[in-house]
Structure 1
Amino acid sequence: MNFRHVKYFVATAELGQISRAAMELSISQSAITTAIKDLEAETGAQLFTRTAQGMELTAAGRHFLGSAYRILASIDEAMNPGGVADEEVTGTLSVAATYTVLGYFLPQHLGRLERRYPNLKIQLFELSREMVEDGLVTNRFDMAVVLTSNVNNPELATDSLLSSQRRLWVPSGHPFLGLERVGFEEISKEPYIMLTVDEAAHTTLRYWNRTNYQPSVRLRTSSIEAVRSIVANGQGITILSDMVYRPWSLEGKRIDTIIPAEPVPSMNIGLAWRKGVELTPAMRLFREYFSDTYQTPQSHLAR
């Protein structure tokens, strides 16, 4: 498997369009198209669905994306085995994170950071977004890993690293799977399971309120596993991001996904810190690590 093909696949998955990925990587669109075709031939699965809006990951593509990140991370570690420079990074870095980020995004990176910088101690704090933002502004935390799509404090700077698409979750065999189009009108007629953790309910209602419909909420819960089981057992449907999606419930029942006909905003994950603060060596390394891992130039991310 060609390493560059994996890199091209990740760029296309994150940016959603071959043209944007080609521009970001400074290569031709045909090179990316060929790479994706080769990967699909090698994996024996269709990784993208081509739509008028761009490139949508299939279920196989979403599964491969996780593996692709690990492949690129392993190559990065092999090319940068560490040494004196890494070992000289010492001190403590206080990092705050919200529930979803800590549960579904951060753990794999903590292990790599620990191996790469053995003398750097990272103190973790799980808090709500409001408490994370307040802690950054008052210098209680050095940096945070958060849902940047929820951050609204003008005193903070952010790097958005990963954009996770939201899709409709339905149980296997649901009638919606046989329809060409499933929009908010159809979804509003089904019992809806509302996740509340990390402001998920607020975000959900925000994009529902742009339509002429409202979800028929059957249950509100802070447990993603509860949502997964209830949907898989045919007791409701929901819209959640690919980052927290798993195709099976704890009972071993299948969950399928559908791209809603109307646009649904993605969930963006990234870093946050107080604007104007002088980044310490540890903070710079933390930021550079994530930028390198997700192949995203910092100059394009800071805002």
Structure 2
Amino acid sequence: MNFRQVKYFVATAELGQVSRAAMELSISQSTITTAIKDLEAELGVRLFARTAHGMDLTPAGRRFLEKAYRLLATVDEALHSTSENEEISGTISVAATYTVIGYFLPQHLEQLERRYPNLTIRLYELTREMIEDGLITNRFDMAVLLTSNVANPELTTETLISSQRRIWVPSGHRFLQMENVSFKEIAEEAYIMLTVDEAAHTALRYWNQTEHQPQIRLRTSSIEAVRSIVANGQGIAILSDMVYRPWSLEGKRIETIIPSQPIPAMDVGLAWRKGSELTPAMRLLREYFRSECQVPHSMNTR
């Protein structure tokens, strides 16, 4: 067993498809497939049930995923644990939106705590409007939020990741047999509209650029509700890869499709008050995310 095999296994487990894991890791699909086969051979168990539309974790795969997370965390700590890191101290107040706290920040908070034990992060969950006001009035040092929603000219933003939006459908849906799925076809289906973090407003922005409108069956602020309703065949949705999981809470499969017409990605990143001098803790947080998300230092901010 080696580190890469574990890393490839985790990526495939999280994304549910070898093709998506390969895209995320910028490697070939065959490399991931071979690594997983070698890992299964060494462990003597099947980690995935291979289906026509993806990779489902077996019970043994779910158990190994927990161990894989602990292993990767231990390796990361070993690579970054230095006396210099332990000397870094300070306090930073960070605001974040619901989606970011639920689907992006947790693993990073854990790594930051292990890597910089003397750095204190005070975290607040708020709406974008409240976060923007808090940054301008210096109640918060920085924010991690959907930068694609920020429009306040008094803030500097820096995007860390762009998460592609795709159509979510239940297993066996007719769209899976089609080469191209347009907004015309999507508009013929019952649509589940997510409302949290301005998702409905964002969705209607790109829908309004077409000749069609969604047949909204339900508006909900719960991503898990969307997941379950779609998996049970009661509607479809368009959501980002960041919040995608290949199964619902009931264990039913959810498939994704890239529509034939482009949809804006969901951008996640940092924000702070324009013109403010970054404290050492703020610089550390910015450099950490740049490194983890592989953001070039020459990246433009606005």
Structures share fold, TM-score greater than 0.5: yes
User: Once the two structures are superposed, what CA deviation does each residue of 1:27-63 show, in whole Å capped at 9, x if it has no partner?
Assistant: xxxxx77x5643344346xxxxxxxxxxxxx956xxx
Q: Secondary structure at the match of 1:300?
A: coil
More displaced 10-residue stretch of structure 1: 192-201 or 289-298: 289-298
Instruction: Determine if contact 2:96/2:143 at 8 Å carries over to the other structure.
Output: yes
For 1:130-209, what aligned pairs fall within 5 Å after superposition? Answer: 130-209=129-208
Instruction: Determine if contact 2:98/2:196 at 8 Å carries over to the other structure.
Output: yes
Partner residue, 2:46: none
For 1:264-279, what aligned pairs fall within 5 Å after superposition? Answer: 264-279=263-278
Residue 229, structure 1, aligned to residue 231, structure 2: no
Instruction: Determine if contact 1:158/1:301 at 8 Å carries over to the other structure.
Output: no
CA separation of 1:292 and 1:262: change in aligned 2, threshold 3 A: same
Partner residue, 1:297: 296
Question: C-alpha distance in 2, partners of 1:39/1:259?
Answer: 22
Q: Secondary structure at the match of 2:131?
A: helix
2:32 to 27, 34, 39: 39
Question: C-alpha distance in 1, partners of 2:149/2:227?
Answer: 23
Question: C-alpha distance in 1, partners of 2:208/2:70?
Answer: 38
Instruction: Determine if contact 1:72/1:293 at 8 Å carries over to the other structure.
Output: no
Question: C-alpha distance in 1, partners of 2:149/2:70?
Answer: 27
Alignment: residue pair count? 269
Instruction: Determine if contact 2:77/2:114 at 8 Å carries over to the other structure.
Output: no
CA separation of 1:74 and 1:302: change in aligned 2, threshold 3 A: farther
Question: C-alpha distance in 2, partners of 1:74/1:165?
Answer: 30
For 1:58-73, what aligned pairs fall within 5 Å after superposition? Answer: none
Using the TM superposition, give the Cα deviation of residue 88 of structure 1 relative to its aligned residue in structure 2, in angstroms.
2.3
Instruction: Determine if contact 1:169/1:238 at 8 Å carries over to the other structure.
Output: yes
Partner residue, 1:255: 254
Instruction: Determine if contact 1:157/1:275 at 8 Å carries over to the other structure.
Output: yes
Structure 2 stretches lacking a partner, 5+ long: 12-18, 38-52, 56-64
Residue 218, structure 1, aligned to residue 217, structure 2: yes
Amino acid at match of 2:98: Y
CA separation of 1:171 and 1:227: change in aligned 2, threshold 3 A: same
CA separation of 1:231 and 1:124: change in aligned 2, threshold 3 A: same
Give the TM-score normalised by structure 1.
0.79
Give the TM-score normalised by structure 2.
0.79
Amino acid at match of 1:193: I
Using the TM superposition, give the Cα deviation of residue 209 of structure 1 relative to its aligned residue in structure 2, in angstroms.
0.6
Residue 283, structure 1, aligned to residue 282, structure 2: yes
CA separation of 1:257 and 1:286: change in aligned 2, threshold 3 A: same
Question: C-alpha distance in 2, partners of 1:188/1:202?
Answer: 17
Question: C-alpha distance in 1, partners of 2:20/2:69?
Answer: 11
Partner residue, 1:82: 82
Partner residue, 1:243: 242
Question: C-alpha distance in 1, partners of 2:20/2:150?
Answer: 23
Instruction: Determine if contact 1:136/1:143 at 8 Å carries over to the other structure.
Output: yes
Using the TM superposition, give the Cα deviation of residue 13 of structure 1 relative to its aligned residue in structure 2, in angstroms.
7.5
Percent of aligned pairs with the same amino acid: 65
CA RMSD of aligned residues (A): 3.3
